[in-house]
Every structure is written in structure tokens, then in C-alpha cells.
Structure 1
Amino acid sequence: MASTQPLRVGYVPEHFSTPLHFARKHYGLDAELIAFPSGTGHMITALRAGEIDVGIGLTEGWVAGLGKAQQQQEGAGDGGFRIVGTYVETPLCWAISTGANRPEISSVDSLQGSKIGVSRIGSGSYVMGYVLADERGWLVPTAGAGTGREQASPYAETVVLDTFAKLRAAVNSGEADFFMWEHFTSKKYFDSGEIRRVGEIYTPWSSWKIVASTGLDGREDGARRVEDLMERLNQGIAHFNANQEEAVAYISTELDYSEEDAREWLKTVRFPERTQGVDPEVIVSTIDVLCKAGVLSLGGGLDASAMIAKKR
């Protein structure tokens, strides 16, 4: 069944959204853009509830959500959405942050066994807590788990706080000891002294992917409209690359960044020329890391190819 309703596109209202803004401003993108400041985990919930049609979010969040759905056989194993495109080619730098006056937290190593703040269970901030623990050797298999692969939590508590603002407040109040969020989004609050930077960690994969609801499969115009969205995004990305000063002006006036930080971020990010499709090896390697980190379980029906609607 065809529909005249614009696609509802979920996105995170950060500097990475600039090409999406340009696609609508300059290239006629016909979509309702819905901001999710709490991140990818919230978009997964919205996709499954039928509240959005497309999401632009973090690779690890999408793969973790789909992997858990496959293992639990939710939504016929597809989790309610599939990965259709690539939005950012470069890894994401996650800053590791604590409260401004938390002298007992002196290094990343002091975070073992502490309270981690996350936006949502299954979000990027949650997943990266386990990737950090894996890199640091903090993961211990749970005895008697049957498979021997399940992991005891490396943290005393996982505190779900929904938004970046609540995460910042929690590490200052002591409700949480640390959290992880994108470096440049965090930097303003390091500079102001509201929170303190402890360290950083990079994703072992390209950082942003585009997903589409499987609910679009039943609409005859669903695939066409997603394809049109990605063509407009391609134009927005080309405009972004050719008009860096316009990008800096937008980021530093409409979003929560200084002009200096916007310029520094531009040196670190690379968007694809074409957003259509996903390299299956990126999804396979993401699954491997998430299994090693204990976010997903080895085996259990994990299938990278079933997570992908369109391959590169």
C-alpha cells in the first residue's frame, strides 16, 4: 500500500546530523526528522513501536539490538528493523567522563567494579562499557553458565539515565561513577569544568549506520522512499564536504558546540560518498567484538546476513 505520509526519521541531534540537515534544507528531503537525544537504544524502542520508519544511529547499538532479537527470536528474528546503509565511515571516539570533584577516580583502571551510567540498556554507551572492559581484561566468565561464554558484569551497577544531561548530573552526585559519550559532544563540559575527562576509547568499527523498519516491507513504496532518502543524504554529504564553512556555522550556532570544536571535529570525520548498503564484514566484526565483550553470546543463531537488507 502506498502512503503519502513522509518517512519518520530518527536521528541524534549532534554534529553528525549536519548532512541530514543539509539534505532537507538544500535537496528537498521530504521526511519528518525526529530527534532522539538519548541515542540509539531509544530509537530501537521507537522502531519496534512503529513510531519511526528509519533510524540513523550507532553501529554497535543496532547490531546489539538485532543480535539479542535473533537469540531471543523476537520479531521473527529480525528485531523490527534491518540495516540498509552506512552513514559514517570513521570510528567514533568515546570520551570517558566522571564528576568534576571525584578525586577517587584517578584513571580508567580505577573504574573497574564501579557504577557505570548509560543512556539505555543496549545503547552505544552501554555496549561500549563492555568493549572497554574487554580491552582492560575486566571480563570474567560466569561459572556454571552452561556455555561457559557468559560474562559476569565488570561493574558494580549499571545506572540507566536516559539523557546526556542526566548522565552529567549523575557523575557529580555520585549516582554513577562514570559514563561514556562522544568526545566532541562532551568537550564543552570538560572545558566548563562541569565534568572531568578520564580517558577515551575508539569503536573498533565504522561508527554510524542507517536502519529501516521491517514494517516498510509491506508498503509498495517503502523501498523506493528509503532509496530516495539515501539519495538525498548523498547530496547532503556532498554539500557538507564542499561547504565546510557552512557546516561550521550550523554546528556552532544551531548545535551545542564551539566553532573551534566544530573545526576540529571536521578533521576527524569521513562520510561515505554513497550511503546505500553495508559492508557485511563490518557487521561480522562488530558481532565478534560484542560476543567477546559479553554483550552477545557466541552461537545462539547469530546471523550477520539476516541483519542486513542491502549489501555493498
Structure 2
Amino acid sequence: MTTIKIGGVPEHFNLAWYLTLKNGEYKKEGINLRWQDYAEGTGAMCKALRNNDIDLAVILTEGIIKDIVEGNPSKIVQTFVQSPLIWGIHVAQDSNYKTIEDIRGQKAAISRFGSGSHLMAYINAENHQWNIDKDLNFEIVNNLDGAVEVLTSGKADYFLWEKFTTKPLVDDHIFRRIGNCPTPWPCFVIAVTEKALNNNFKELKSILNIINNTTIEFKNIPSIDKTISNRYGQQLEDVQQWLSLTEWSQHNIDELTFSTIQQKLLEVKIIKSTLKYHDIFVNI
């Protein structure tokens, strides 16, 4: 039995992994797949990949591309979720901020530098023609609980996070959403360390085959909307809307899409240099 370690956020996007693990599908192939939750998100997973604490990660596209450009010895082997991630822009419920323009120059809560919440603050700033050098300020909060604490206390002013994950906080009048910021590209990819690619290529191929067979049919799983609603504490109608908007993928990102992503990251000064397609992507 070969042990493979995988990381991902503990959110509804990754339920397919939980289901295949629960069903013992990897063990049938001689693979002991060990899942590790990373509530801190992309920045923490990039660090874990660099340290070989995990072998692969289900991770935000823009975050892992940035980190590979900056030296992370990993490769993207597949798109996991093809559709954009819809980031909600949140303020505290009792905040005086009502519009996106109101938060210009205010402090953004981010899980960590290099995280999705950090990178998307740049994308949001560019979308509204802010001055990236002057209008962005950050407070590191580690995770969603940390964001609740700093927005409530006033240590930070706004927070970008996936809108359906934060919807219960909006429903409970802890956060108020003042806008959305979709990623202009597929949102989640599967990244693998070069060490794992060299040592466990066959096992990685089996893992991808298993998860892809599940995501192809994910929306047709009986009562999947109720399962997600119960497991993640979300309203059934919100889950149904999310399912209608979300498309999984079993293929890698094409070169044109990658070029668009990398150019955007360069424009907003998230990266300072670029790589070629084959430096970042490999097919298993």
C-alpha cells in the first residue's frame, strides 16, 4: 500500500474527494490516500507542497501559478473545477461601507500573502481602476474565523472569500456582502510535487482516474444537494444555485488560458517574471 498525501480546503468543492475516500476507492488500487484539510487556503498549501508535507493539492489556479513562478517545485496536472470561483466581497454587518468604492484604500483581511484572498484583492482593485500601490492594505487573519474576528473588531475592513462558503455568515448577519469578484479563469487545479511525479506516477494516474469518474457524474448523485447542505451548513437553495454554476473538469488548462492568467498576474504585479507553459503544466 502506497501512501499519498493530499491537501485541500474543507469546502463543498471537495466533497467528491470525501466520497471517494469514504468508499475506499483508492485502497482498492493499493493507495492509502491521506486527506489533509487546509482551512488557511492556497498559501498554506503552497508551503506544504514546497516542504513535501503533501504530495498533491486541490488549489486555486492563480495561487499555485504564482508560487511555481516563484520557485515551487510542483506541476499542475489537471483542472479540477472549470468554472470561475465567485468571490464575495464582505464587510462587517454593522459597517458603514455600502459599496466597493467605499472600501477603496481600506484594509483587506487576507488569510496570508500569496493566498487567494490576497491575490483576488488585487484583481478586484484592478477591476475598479484603483491604484494598486496606494489603495491596497492588508491584515493577515489565517482563515475564515480570523476574518470574522478582525472585521467584527474593526482591525480590517473587508474580506474576499468564496460567496457560498460565507453565505451562512451573511445569513446570520455577521458579514454583509457588498459585491462579487469572479475569477476570470478556471478556479481550482490539481498540483503535484515533482518528487511525487518522479516516484508515484502510476499511483497519481489512478487517483486522477478515480476522482474524474466521480466528478463527471457528481451532479447526478442522488440527493447530492441535500448532502452538501447538511454537511456544510448551507441553505438548500444556495447549494442548488452553486451546483447550477459549477462545472468540473477532467483536462488540463490550455495554453491560451494559461497565457491570459499569467499576463493578468503580471499586470497587477502579483508576479514579476513569467514561465513557459511546459514549465508549469504536465499531463499524467
Shorter-normalised TM range: over 0.9
* Number of the residue aligned with 1:256: 233
* Number of the residue aligned with 2:21: 24
* Number of the residue aligned with 2:267: 292
* Number of the residue aligned with 1:190: 170
- The letter for the 1-side match of 2:17 is L
* Aligned counterparts of 2:256 and 2:112: Cα–Cα separation in 1: 27
User: Aligned pair in 2 of structure 1 residues 224, 86: CA closer, same or farther (>3 Å)?
Assistant: same
* Number of the residue aligned with 1:43: 45
> Can you list the C-alpha shifts for 1:160-191, whole angstroms capped at 9, x where unaligned?
11111111221111111001000101111111
* Aligned counterparts of 1:278 and 1:227: Cα–Cα separation in 2: 17
* Number of the residue aligned with 1:146: none
Give 3-state SS (helix, strand or coil) of 1:87's partner.
strand
> Can you list the C-alpha shifts for 1:190-230, whole angstroms capped at 9, x where unaligned?
111011111111101011100001121441xx111111110
* Number of the residue aligned with 2:8: 11
* Number of the residue aligned with 1:117: 109
- The letter for the 2-side match of 1:63 is I
Query: What's the TM-score, normalizing by structure 2?
Result: 0.93
User: Aligned pair in 2 of structure 1 residues 218, 153: CA closer, same or farther (>3 Å)?
Assistant: farther
Question: Which among 196, 201, 215 is matched to residue 216 of structure 1?
Answer: 196
1:180 aligns with 2:160: yes
1:226 aligns with 2:204: yes
- The letter for the 1-side match of 2:267 is K
Give runs of aligned pairs for residues 237-252 of structure 1, distance below 5 A.
237-245=215-223, 247-252=224-229
Question: Which among 68, 83, 96 is matched to residue 89 of structure 2?
Answer: 96
Asked whether the 8 Å contact 2:80–2:248 carries over to 1, the reply is yes
User: Aligned pair in 2 of structure 1 residues 271, 217: CA closer, same or farther (>3 Å)?
Assistant: closer
* Number of the residue aligned with 2:68: 66
Asked whether the 8 Å contact 1:18–1:240 carries over to 2, the reply is no
* Number of the residue aligned with 2:254: 279
* Number of the residue aligned with 2:30: none
Cα distance, 1:301 vs. partner?
A: 4.6
* Aligned counterparts of 2:64 and 2:233: Cα–Cα separation in 1: 25
* Aligned counterparts of 2:261 and 2:63: Cα–Cα separation in 1: 10
> Can you list the C-alpha shifts for 1:59-104, whole angstroms capped at 9, x where unaligned?
111111122x1xxxx4xxxx1211011101101110000111111x
Asked whether the 8 Å contact 1:95–1:183 carries over to 2, the reply is yes
Query: What's the TM-score, normalizing by structure 1?
Result: 0.85
More off after superposition, 22-31 vs 92-101: 22-31
Asked whether the 8 Å contact 1:139–1:293 carries over to 2, the reply is no
Give the RMSD, CA atoms, in angstroms: 1.7
* Aligned counterparts of 2:282 and 2:218: Cα–Cα separation in 1: 27
Question: Which among 267, 276, 284 is matched to residue 303 of structure 1?
Answer: 276
* Aligned counterparts of 2:167 and 2:222: Cα–Cα separation in 1: 21
How many pairs are equivalent?
Answer: 279
Cα distance, 1:139 vs. partner?
A: 2.8
- The letter for the 2-side match of 1:14 is E
Structure 2 portions without partners, runs of 5+: 28-32
Asked whether the 8 Å contact 1:112–1:154 carries over to 2, the reply is yes
> Can you list the C-alpha shifts for 1:129-173, whole angstroms capped at 9, x where unaligned?
001111111135xxxxxxxxxxx2522x21111111111221111
* Aligned counterparts of 1:38 and 1:133: Cα–Cα separation in 2: 22
User: Aligned pair in 2 of structure 1 residues 153, 56: CA closer, same or farther (>3 Å)?
Assistant: farther
Structure 1 portions without partners, runs of 5+: 141-151
Cα distance, 1:281 vs. partner?
A: 2.1
More off after superposition, 254-263 vs 280-289: 254-263
Runs of 4+ in 1 over 6 A off after TM superposition: none
User: Aligned pair in 2 of structure 1 residues 208, 171: CA closer, same or farther (>3 Å)?
Assistant: same
* Aligned counterparts of 1:153 and 1:208: Cα–Cα separation in 2: 30
Asked whether the 8 Å contact 1:27–1:232 carries over to 2, the reply is no
